[in-house]
Amino acid sequence: MTEKTSRLPGFYKLPIEKRIAIIAEWAGLDEAETAVLSHNGLTATQADTMIENVLGTFELPLGVAANFLINDKDYLIPMAVEEPSVLAAVSHAAKLIRAGGGFQTSSTEPVMIGQIQVLDVPDMAAASAAIHAHKAELMAIADGSDPIILKLGGGARDIVPRPIETAVGPMLIVHLHFDTRDAMGANAINTALERLAPRIAELTNGRTNLRILSNLADQRLATARCTIPAEKLATPDFSGTEAARRIEEANAFAIADPYRAATHNKGIMNGIDAVVIATGNDWRAIEAGAHAYAVKDGRYTALTDWHVNENGDLYGEITLPMAVGMVGGATKVHPTARVAMKILGVQSAPELAEVMAAVGLAQNLAAIKALSTVGIQKGHMRLHARQVAMAAGASNSAIQRIANQLVAEKNINVNRAKELLTIDN
Ligand code: MEV
């Protein structure tokens, strides 16, 4: 068998059944898994076991992004998203990045932070000292809450007291750092916190209130980096060198200005969320972590760095919290998420986190490259025109021709599309 490649030239032109067949072969999906893709995966009965008051399910388009080469391994990226252009854009960016050798990624150990809020502490310094003095005992209590994670090599890593001032007086916030291995870990850490809280109250002579994980998962970071040869960035209007400089300028804008940073980071999350959703992970947790991390130095800023390196090529990097798991939650319950994980082919939660960081970096490159060269409306308009042509009743073979005509006339209108179809017939 030839080496697996994530290059899929012409894939977008194929009918859906053919695409499914190619992906099924690529990922080694069995008949039942393939059927999950061609029929809606989650049944109402399964949904009824997941949330309350179920009426049915809510579908989103699921596609795969191509061209990803991460640490010399090829990946096809399943993405669930309603926004046009996201998959085409990220696949385009991944192709450019591939030309520079692909992504290099790394991650920390999958360590989550949990918080215990302690109030009415009579002596903060003594309470903090007591926590430090009993660290080993406290970590053992936390470890006792999850023998499975412990057996898999996870468990407590640190206990950190943090006195803070608040509107209702001083508090001692005790952080538990807990390695949750391949789980996202919300349940594991919340259970450990509840187990720890009584002993913390005793040691501090205080009263505990909240015991809950923090979504600012800054002990669980994923990083992706890439370098793109400048000439690969050339467009009809700009040389590669000019395009690289314009991308650097776009990133500098986002680093300096929170109004731009919010949109810049939203573009990053277009890609990351789509993978988080497709794999059944908690996208609100990822969003909360990303945006909180973006303000870690006191001012909201861009999550990426893009600059022209000493060779004149474009270097890009992203680091962000990535609390995602491959066990527990919807990842194993939702049939489509299970198939998406199989397509992705990752072996651990850190690998999944790194892939997501790479997707975010590529999605951001696609956006700021388009914005700093042709603008994004051209691509959007092309897709919009296809949707209008479809809405006007164009057959599969006529959609592209009608859409091209609408774009050329700068009149993307369903009535005009209908007129063009009448002229056709
Ligand atoms: C649109 O969903 C995302 C962008 O606005 C991101 C950006 O401006 O960088 C294109």
What pLDDT digit, counting tens, does each position of 180-239 carry? Answer: 999 999 999 999 999 999 999 999 999 999 999 999 999 999 999 999 999 999 999 999
* Mutational pocket test of ligand 1: of 85, 263, 381, the residue with most ligand atoms within 8 Å of the beta carbon: 263
Q: Distance from the CA of 58 to the center of ligand 1, in angstroms?
A: 25
Instruction: For residue range 292-307, list pLDDT tens digits in order.
Output: 999 999 999 999 999 9
Question: 378-424 has which CATH code?
Answer: 1.10.8
Q: Three-state secondary structure along the chain?
A: CCCCCCCCCCHHHCCHHHHHHHHHHHHCCCHHHHHHHHCCCCCHHHHHCCCCCCCCCCCCCEEEEEEEEECCEEEEEEEECCCCCHHHHHHHHHHHHHHCCCEEEEECCCEEEEEEEEECCCCHHHHHHHHHHCHHHHHHHHHCCCHHHHHCCCEEEEEEEEEEEECCEEEEEEEEEEECCCECCHHHHHHHHHHHHHHHHHHHCCEEEEEEEECCCCCCEEEEEEEECHHHHCCCCCCHHHHHHHHHHHHHHHHHCHHHHHHHHHHHHHHHHHHHHHCCCCHHHHHHHHHHHCCCCCCCCCCEEEEECCCCCEEEEEEEECCCCCECCHHHHCHHHHHHHHHHCCCCHHHHHHHHHHHHHHHHHHHHHHHHCCCCHHHHHHHHHHHHHHHCCCCHHHHHHHHHHHHHCCCCCHHHHHHHHHHHC
* Ligand 1 in reach of 376 Cβ (< 6 A): yes
pLDDT at 134: 98
Question: 111-213 has which CATH code?
Answer: 3.30.70.420
Q: Considering the chain, what is the average pLDDT of its residues?
A: 95
Q: Distance from the CA of 369 to the center of ligand 1, in angstroms?
A: 11
pLDDT at 425: 66
Judge if 11-108+220-375 and 378-424 fold alike in CATH terms. Answer: no
Give the residue-averaged pLDDT of 277-297: 97
* Ligand 1 in reach of 105 Cβ (< 6 A): no
Q: Indicate whether 423 pLDDT > 90.
A: no
Q: Indicate whether 333 pLDDT > 90.
A: no
* Ligand 1 in reach of 263 Cβ (< 6 A): yes
Give the residue-averaged pLDDT of 23-47: 93
Domain ranges of the chain: 11-108+220-375, 111-213, 378-424
Q: Indicate whether 1 pLDDT > 70.
A: no
Could you say which of 3.40.50.300, 3.40.50.2300, 3.90.770.10, 3.40.50.620 is the CATH number of the domain covering 11-108+220-375? 3.90.770.10
